[in-house]
Amino acid sequence: MLHNLRRVIQEVNAANNLDEALSIIVRRVKEAMEVDVCSVFLNDPARGQFVLMATNGLNPAAVGKSRLGHHEGLIGLVGERQEPVNVADAGSHPRYRHMPETGEEPHHAFLGVPIIHYRRLLGVLVAQHTVHRRFEEDEVAFFLTVAAQLAGGISHAAASSGPSVTSNGQPLQPGFVQGVRGAPGVALGTIAVADPLADLASVPNRRARDTEAEEVSFCAAVAAVQQALRTSGEHMSAHLPAEERALFDVFVMLLGGDTLVSDTVRRIREGQWAPAALRDTIHEHASVFENLEDPYLQARAEDIRGLGRRILMQLQSEDVGSRTWPERCILVGEELSLAQIAEVPINRLAGIASVRGSAVSHVALLARAMDIPAVMGLDDLRVSWLDEQPIVVDGYEGRVFINPSAAVQKEFQRLAREEDEITAGVRELRELPAETPDGIRMPLHVNTGLLSDITPSLKSGAEGVGLYRTEFPFMVRDSFPSEDEQYQTYRAVLAAFAPRTVTMRTLDVGGDKNLPYFPVDEDNPFLGWRGIRFTLDHPEIFLTQLRAMLRANADHGNLRLLLPMISRVDEVDEAAAHLARAHRELIEEGQPCAMPSIGVMIEAPSAVYQAHALSRRVDFLSLGTNDLTQYILAVDRNNPRVASLYDGLHPAVLRAVVDATEVARATGTPISVCGEMAGDPAAIPLLLATGVDALSMSACAIPKAKWVIRSIAKAQAADLLERALAMEEPQSIRGMMDGVLDAAGLGGLVRAGK
């Protein structure tokens, strides 16, 4: 059974569309369970019905036509209970409803299980038998396991295929793919799948515009790989045993054989572009070896894939610079890189969607700096199906709609117009202070980490840098940057913002921010070797960075130094000792420099409860609400499975912010907020009421934040905070704040806080 389950899952995940995936499911599950019928009914929530969308054993003409209401028949009973329904004689059950169009009359035994994905009922999987009997417990358990395992694949296929359509042309409710918010905003456009780097599995489907040119290109790539293999074999002949040298000859023979090349050429002539034709041929040939019993022959499947990757790499090297991009391009990929983004003309790039990546990934931060909507962590997106399809990117909710319906497009076009109106409305506030109607000033600073961010940050009206992420220069290299390289970067940033202060966070890697040249493999990286823990364990790296910062600060004196991920007071003491040492060394070397202000990030719950002790050691505090929220709520903010549970307006998070600010006021320690919460319009009045001294956010969020501050008095904000702290659910708090924004004429900002 387990072997059968794995095979079904593999085939479903490799399917080209939803119809193919469902067809595989009913055929394979019927074989595995040895039943007479296997069917899938998909949920159509818009009509309150279940629709027969695939069957093996019933009348195929009923597919897409046969429907049952949510509370009708045994199918409806499965949906209501959301648990298995197992009956020996379906016809005698009081909930049975006869569907003559399906030809189900001879079938008595019935087993139905719900297909559920992230709490959402996708449909019902059904097995039927002609005999009168209840299915055995192990059969029910297997069937339930199949449904649970395949739920993701069905959701994956449904979302990536766009709205499913029944055979009589009626669309099922269009779905969306849930990810995590990368950069706010909405964008409608056409998908351009980023060409993968020699990754056959990620090659998108694309029609060949010129089949002859594609065939010539493929044959040239094969010839180039053959020659490279011959050359490699000759170079290695003196260093390898005869049997290993023979492998080079085998690979050359495989490329020279008829089937691998001719099968690919056939697919090209049928209309596929060369990379997709190669992908399908390699998959077909590798599968033959994988299904053999002999382990040695099974291992040859990877050799076939290796050849495929080499040919693909050659094809890609020939295609560089030849691609055309849609007018409103939504760049989509498995894991987008800055280089792939840079390939798209900036005047055509309208949005970004990535299967992997987080809200704080380099790509997401770049998207925010460019004011381009982005959604990351789209686990259910099947990229290879999507090229040139229409899409809506909702950066506020962290989701995308593939092949959106006319109604969805109309709604998002309205939201896009509202965004344009808001942008026009806040542009005039650039030179005005962020001051409440009752005269309370709230300095607004910018979060940045890229030199390219400097100009947009200055134009946004930012009063300084509340968080400069120094890890970026470390992440885009193949080795640790030298002291002089860091000095040049830091000096440019400090000079650009002088005399305004720049708060530079010391190296903060780990968690979801890894260095490619210093990989750290941990079971739970967010609770592992990250932030200050890493730098204190590597004083040679820490001291180099501290020296570079101090040298860069010599000319302008506007540096503030921020320590990340502090969870113990002795970490602050040790970091301060390293800073004093770096300062002493530079003075001894004849390089005059001043000691900067030093602060700590309040991100770990332990830091909230030791805020008194921390305040005695530092000059300022900074609330990092992204990590603070995920640690208090035990929710990985980058995991789409639990993304809906992550909310900075949770009462526990608000209470932690209030506790920290009360300590700061009592000790006379300045405190700011530099997480996403600082740019959330619904959270800003509450943060204002806590008494924080400054807010720091992405440059594109500053004008909207200023609009909120200038619209809501401090006294009103204090009342709202008191009411919020008495509430028990984040939805209640957010609902209250959305209502307040709407009443203040800021309804267009409500969506940005969700």
Residues present in the chain in total: 754
**Phi and psi at residue 448, to the nearest 5°:** -155, 180
Annotation marks residue 219 as catalytic: no
d(CA 140, CA 77): 16
d(CA 436, CA 92): 70
**Is the separation of the CB atoms in 595 and 579 below 8 Å?**
yes
DSSP result, 128-170: EESS--PPPHHHHHHHHHHHHHHHHHHHHHHHHH-S-B-TTSP
Catalytic pick from 362, 445, 583, 650? 362
Catalytic pick from 38, 329, 593, 674? 674
Q: How far is CA 252 from CA 224, 228, 239, 256, 636, in A?
A: 11, 9, 19, 6, 48
Annotation marks residue 362 as catalytic: yes
The SS3 of residue 65 is coil
Buried b (16+ CB within 10 A) or exposed e, 320-341: eeeeeebeebbbbbbbbeeebb
d(CA 597, CA 232): 58
Q: How far is CA 500 from CA 427, 559, 563, in A?
A: 22, 9, 20
d(CA 412, CA 754): 15
Give 389's contacts (C-beta < 8 A, 6+ positions apart): 162, 190, 191, 402, 403
Question: Rounded to the nearest 10 degrees, how much is the dihedral formed by the CA atoms of 547, 549, 550, 552?
Answer: 120
E-state strands within 455-522: 465-469, 502-505
Give 522's contacts (C-beta < 8 A, 6+ positions apart): 528, 529
Residues labelled catalytic: 362, 674
